[in-house]
Amino acid sequence: MTRRERLSKSRLFANDADTNPYCVKWNEGWLQIRVPVPFSLKWVNSYLISEDEGYTLIDPGLKTDEAIHVWEAVLHQNRIKWTDISRVVLTHQHPDHYGLAGYVQEKSGAPVYMTSAAHAYAVRLWGEESGFSQQLQLLYEEHGMPLQDREAIADNLDTFVSMVTPQPQVQFIEAGGTLSLGGLNWQLIDAPGHANGQLCFYQSERKWMICGDQVLPHITPNVSVVPGEDGDPLEAFLQSLRELQSFDVLFAFPGHRDPFAEFEGRIDELLQHHERRLAQMAALLSEEPRTAYGLCGVLFGTRLNGNAHQLRFAMSETIAHLVHLERKGIAVSSCKAGIRYYSILDHAGNHGTAEA
Ligand SMILES: [Zn+2]
Ligand SMILES: [Zn+2]
């Protein structure tokens, strides 16, 4: 199908964002609610899908007063009551998607569905016994982050607790299964790398994809090393993107920004972005051994100044790329006084060390 055909198909959709910036009505009665988030992503997309009885709500958003206010207004405007929400489905466990799930469950009595892996991560991150913040501190310390930045990140993480409370009682759905949404059958696809256990939902007759944060227009989804999760999240992410590219998608419903038609092309751009970033990092490491923190400063620079939230994303993303380079045999790392330095293997198999 040509780009023009895809775009004309996408015009099947009606859009009344001009009358309410927070709510866009798509055909078949789908509502896209742009739920505000208090950081640079601006909003997370919730989708309200009309069912025979009630509505399925996908990804309710982060629990803030502003988000609840928007929800109240949108529901009122569309003559929907909280109790009309018959089911909450989560693409993944990140707080900007998961945070309001418990609140909506309290208001509606609706069951909340997510994968068991996503739920395990949410419990580890936000459960009462969570040691996640301390584990993150240790990881960042090893990768060269000074104490002041680590403390700012710990403080920033603490602010999220109220934005994911209360936490929902959940039921599990898993990749490989199917789910009925809006009278149509959707395939559940494992989409790791951005968030372990994330699901995308594919409808083969409409050729629609609900893609969570795995493929976003205009924004590069964050890929992070998460303490306690082994492996190579960037490799998982890249593999998942290639797998998603094999689906014939006319229209994609992402977790941020607006629904879009160029799914396959957007995946190409994301793959190319990571190739460029890996090459750029390898070039920097060939100059001298560096820590993840040192590289992060070179790559992201002044954008991080005083922004603990952004610094956490940038740092974890940098570590993910370094882990990937090392797994691929392009970089090697060694520790000096507890700090990990990365360098590049030269053609003779030698490498600069932390002492070099
Ligand atoms: Zn996410
Ligand atoms: Zn998100």
pLDDT one-digit tens code per residue, 81-137: 999 999 999 999 999 999 999 999 999 999 999 999 999 999 988 877 778 999 999
Ligand 2 centre to CA of 338 (Å) is: 33
Residue-wise DSSP of 232-301: -HHHHHHHHHHHHHTS--SEEEESSS--BS-HHHHHHHHHHHHHHHHHHHHHHHHHS-B-HHHHHHHHHG
Average pLDDT over the chain reads 91
Ligand 1 centre to CA of 345 (Å) is: 34
Ligand 2 centre to CA of 332 (Å) is: 32
Give yes or no for a contact between 25 and 31, defined as CB atoms under 8 angstroms apart: yes
pLDDT class for 168, splitting at 50, 70, 90? very high
Give yes or no for a contact between 250 and 6, defined as CB atoms under 8 angstroms apart: yes
pLDDT tens, position by position, 197-227 = 999 999 999 999 999 999 999 999 999 999 9
pLDDT in the model for residue 15: 52
Ligand 1 centre to CA of 216 (Å) is: 10
Ligand 2 centre to CA of 98 (Å) is: 9
Q: Residue count of the chain, please give it.
A: 356
Q: Is the pLDDT of residue 12 over 80?
A: no
Ligand 2 centre to CA of 355 (Å) is: 40
Q: Which residue has the higher pLDDT, 4 or 284?
A: 284
For 303-311, the CB contacts below 8 A with 24+ separation are 308/149, 308/152, 308/153, 308/155, 308/156, 309/39, 309/156, 310/40, 311/149, 311/152, 311/153
Angle at 220 between CA 214 and CA 226, to 5 degrees: 65
* Buried-exposed string 118-152: b where 16+ CB fall within 10 A, e elsewhere: bbebbebbbeeeeebbeebbebbbbbbbeeebbeb
- Distance between CA 117 and CA 174 in Å, rounded? 9
Dihedral of the CA atoms 265, 255, 136, 319 (nearest 10)? 10
State the ligand closest to the CA atom of 44: 2
Give the strand pairing for 112-114 and 43-50.
Answer: unpaired
Q: Is the pLDDT of residue 43 over 50?
A: yes
Ligand 2 centre to CA of 333 (Å) is: 31
pLDDT tens, position by position, 297-327 = 999 987 777 889 999 999 999 999 999 999 9
- Residue 120 structure tokens: 């395990």
pLDDT tens, position by position, 257-271 = 999 999 999 999 999
State the ligand closest to the CA atom of 198: 1
pLDDT above 70 covers a percentage of the chain that reads 91
pLDDT class for 228, splitting at 50, 70, 90? confident
Summarize the chain as % helix, strand, coil (round to 5).
40, 20, 40
Q: Is the pLDDT of residue 1 over 60?
A: no
Q: Is the pLDDT of residue 192 over 50?
A: yes
- Residue 78 structure tokens: 């569309």
Tell me the pTM. 0.92
Nearest CA among 288, 282, 270 for reference residue 321:
282
Ligand 2 centre to CA of 131 (Å) is: 23
Which stretches within the chain are classed as H helix?
3-10, 65-77, 95-98, 101-108, 116-126, 132-142, 147-158, 233-245, 263-287, 292-300, 308-327
- Residue 159 structure tokens: 């602010």
Ligand 1 centre to CA of 195 (Å) is: 6
Ligand 1 centre to CA of 92 (Å) is: 7
Ligand 2 centre to CA of 92 (Å) is: 8
Domains recognised in the chain with CATH numbers: 3-272 (3.60.15.10), 285-344 (1.10.10.10)
Ligand 1 centre to CA of 334 (Å) is: 31
State the ligand closest to the CA atom of 223: 1
pLDDT class for 283, splitting at 50, 70, 90? very high
Neighbours of 30 (CB within 10 A): 20
Ligand 1 centre to CA of 214 (Å) is: 8
